[in-house]
Amino acid sequence: MPDPAGSRGRAATRAPAAVSAHPTLDWNDEGRDWPLREACRFETAAGLRWLVLQAGQGPDVLLVHGMGASTHSWRGLVPLLTPFFRVLAIDLPGHGFTDQAPPDQRSLPGMAKAITALLKTLDVSPALMVGHSAGAAIATRMTLDGAAAPDAIVSINGAFVGFRGPATQFFSPIAKLLMLNPLVPHAFAWRAGDPAVAERLLRDTGSRIDPEGMALYRRLFANPRHVAGTLGAMAAWDLDPLRRDMRRLAVPLILAAGQRDGMVPPSQADEVRRLAPQARIVPLPGLGHLAHEEAPAILADLVIRAGRHDEGTA
């Protein structure tokens, strides 16, 4: 992977500073062997300390992960993109190693505004935005609000309509009820510490990821702060305004749809295409919700072609 240190004079390889009193995971403990650690640092914006991963040279590409994940989910994709782009990936508020978010930053508009503030701090204007699951909704919200002006948005199993299957138990209004009990994140984390439980949760996504990915998700799922951050965001999630606004989306929206997705059925891509006139569907046969972790080369090719404005991406 190219050395990211030269990008606009910012040394992405420097050791992260000590985190604040409200981190989600401990960088010196859970992050001691985190994927692409050498390209990570911490930055402060919107009242939060964020984990930022930045590497490569070229046009800026922003990667936004989904609920319950972190920058680790891009570990296979980032090295494939850095020869073509300067890649920026972040941990969402309350996820991974980014600080827990206050209530006004847990909703879809709140997260979009917080990320916008971070981009201003970093002086980054993404030429391309790539979002997985809920991350695709965040990228689209930012674009609709004029906070970003990408040439295109690549959605990997984007959660524009909602989730199906086991994940629905965490979404509003049930997630709001769960958040009233402070013991819920601890109970979930305790159960998820069992490898069999974590494996079942991941299997329900329809994806088959490698042992490293399984171990990293277990580390996240077993952390009560990460669980609380995920539940807090899900409890505040409301996709109705986004769906109403998507007809205004003026940039190409590439809908990469895993045909084995157990959380966002591929049929939802057809609904999104009806909502957004610029949307095009790219089926991903044999892949599930975590398609970018199962087959990073396939997704990297899709992103690279989108960056080149290749009509073959859809």
CATH number of the domain to which 98 belongs: 3.40.50.1820
- CA dist 222 and 225 (Å) reads 9
Give the model confidence (pLDDT) of 181-203 as tens digits: 555 665 666 566 677 877 888 89
Asked whether residue 102 is assigned to any structural domain, the reply reads yes
pTM, rounded to two decimals: 0.87
Identify the pLDDT of residue 19: 34
Identify the pLDDT of residue 188: 62
Range of the domain at 33: 4-165+242-313
Crossing angle of the two packed helices 211-221 and 183-192, in degrees rounded to 10: 150
Report CA-CA distances (Å) from 259 to 66, 101, 131, 186, 272.
18, 33, 18, 34, 16
- CA dist 283 and 259 (Å) reads 7
Report residue 178 as tokens. 């769960």
Crossing angle of the two packed helices 211-221 and 195-203, in degrees rounded to 10: 110
Asked whether residue 180 is assigned to any structural domain, the reply reads no
Asked whether residue 202 is assigned to any structural domain, the reply reads no
Asked whether residue 188 is assigned to any structural domain, the reply reads no
Identify the pLDDT of residue 178: 52
Contact between 59 and 32 (Cβ < 8 Å):
no
Crossing angle of the two packed helices 134-144 and 108-122, in degrees rounded to 10: 70
Asked whether residue 189 is assigned to any structural domain, the reply reads no
Give percent of the chain with pLDDT exceeding 90. 68
- Nearest residue to 255 (alpha-carbon basis) of 240, 243, 272, 238: 272
- In DSSP terms, 258 is beta-bridged to 284
Which residue type, as a one-letter code, is found at position 3?
Answer: D
Asked whether residue 74 is assigned to any structural domain, the reply reads yes
- In DSSP terms, 63 is beta-bridged to 89, 130
Identify the pLDDT of residue 234: 85
Identify the pLDDT of residue 12: 37
Q: Which residues of the chain have pLDDT under 70?
A: 1-23, 162-193, 311-314
- Nearest residue to 242 (alpha-carbon basis) of 137, 112, 151, 116: 137
CA atoms within 13 A on the CB side of 58: 16
Contact between 20 and 101 (Cβ < 8 Å):
no
Q: Is 131 left (phi over 0), alpha (psi -120 to 50) or beta?
A: beta
- CA dist 110 and 305 (Å) reads 31
The order of strands in the sheet holding 152-156 is 40-45, 48-56, 86-90, 60-64, 128-132, 152-156, 253-258, 279-284
Give the model confidence (pLDDT) of 212-236 as tens digits: 999 999 999 888 889 889 888 888 8
How many structural domains are present in the chain?
A: 1
Asked whether residue 92 is assigned to any structural domain, the reply reads yes
Asked whether residue 211 is assigned to any structural domain, the reply reads no
